[in-house]
């Protein structure tokens, strides 16, 4: 005898003994109630999501292990912070501030798939993802927050597994996000104005030369495409052979 693997998709925190899970578990001889409870415990933090689940059963002892599939860490961070997307320029823009409780929450969701040795290591990995998204942690750049984590500043919260914020904390976080959004909007407007000036100063140059110059000046690709949309092969630097040269 070996192991049997049952794979299914459940509503996070709401698995039941009904189809499709119950009928699949029935013939296995396991305690269905214990399996369901374990699944709901592992998936409760994914509220509102469909979560892939594997139940691995030892056919001889009837012991079982549950593994859950999870969305990418970046997606969980966006869901937690109500973000549509990360920063265009993560090294220059800041779009949100994640509290340590929220980092702990995401870390608990991802710890199994991360292979992190403990929850503190998982929290640090989550913070690392914040860095690439333009998200601060506890009001600080991620690298500074990681030093605080290493120094034990947040050990009490991490060890307690605290994951929830108060209504006041959530309100303050949303206000801060609005302020950061305004700052980012202003930065984008300034960048677009700079791009327009560069384009104006390169009249007579080919679109490809202008694009190259804008890229050298660290103008974001979305701004370049907005101001210089590619409309033909000629714009790509290819010779237009549709008519004979005069």
- What confidence tens digit (pLDDT) does each residue in 83-122 have? 988 888 777 889 999 999 999 999 988 887 888 889 999 9
Query: CB atoms < 10 A from the CB of 136, how many?
Result: 21
Q: How confident is the model at residue 32 (pLDDT cuts 50, 70, 90)?
A: very high
Query: CB atoms < 10 A from the CB of 116, how many?
Result: 17
- Give percent above pLDDT 90 in the chain: 39
Give yes or no for a contact between 80 and 102, defined as CB atoms under 8 angstroms apart. Answer: yes
Domain boundaries, the chain: 3-68, 73-165, 185-235
The superfamily in CATH containing domain 73-165 is Ribosomal protein L11/L12, C-terminal domain (1.10.10.250)
User: The tokens 């092969």 sit on which residue?
Assistant: 233
Identify the pLDDT of residue 151. 96
- Is 130's pLDDT higher than 90? yes
| CA nearest neighbour of 53 among 108, 110, 15, 90 | 15
Give yes or no for a contact between 87 and 157, defined as CB atoms under 8 angstroms apart. Answer: no
Do the domains 3-68 and 73-165 sit in the same CATH topology, yes or no?
no
Task: For domain 3-68, say whether CATH 3.90.1150.10 is its number.
Answer: no
């Amino acid at each position: 005898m070996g192991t049997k693997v049952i794979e299914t998709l459940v509503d996070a925190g709401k698995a039941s003994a009904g189809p499709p899970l119950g009928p699949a578990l029935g013939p296995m001889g396991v305690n269905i109630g214990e399996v369901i409870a374990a699944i709901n415990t592992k998936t409760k933090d994914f509220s509102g999501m469909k979560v892939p689940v594997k139940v691995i059963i030892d056919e001889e002892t009837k012991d079982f292990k549950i593994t859950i599939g999870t969305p990418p860490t970046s997606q969980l961070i966006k869901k937690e912070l109500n973000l549509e997307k990360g920063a265009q320029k993560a090294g220059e823009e800041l779009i949100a501030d994640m509290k340590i409780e929220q980092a702990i929450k995401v870390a608990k969701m991802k710890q199994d798939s991360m292979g992190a040795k403990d929850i503190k290591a998982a929290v640090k990995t989550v913070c690392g993802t914040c860095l690439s998204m333009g998200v601060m942690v506890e009001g600080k750049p991620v690298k500074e927050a990681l030093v605080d984590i290493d120094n034990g500043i947040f050990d009490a919260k991490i060890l307690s597994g605290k994951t929830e914020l108060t209504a006041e904390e959530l309100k303050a976080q949303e206000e801060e996000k609005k302020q950061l959004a305004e700052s980012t909007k202003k930065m984008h407007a300034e960048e677009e104005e700079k791009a327009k000036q560069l384009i104006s100063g390169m009249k007579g140059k080919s679109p490809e030369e202008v694009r190259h110059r804008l890229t050298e000046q660290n103008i974001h690709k979305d701004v370049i495409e907005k101001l210089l949309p590619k409309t033909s092969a000629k714009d790509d630097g290819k010779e237009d052979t549709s008519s004979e040269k005069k």
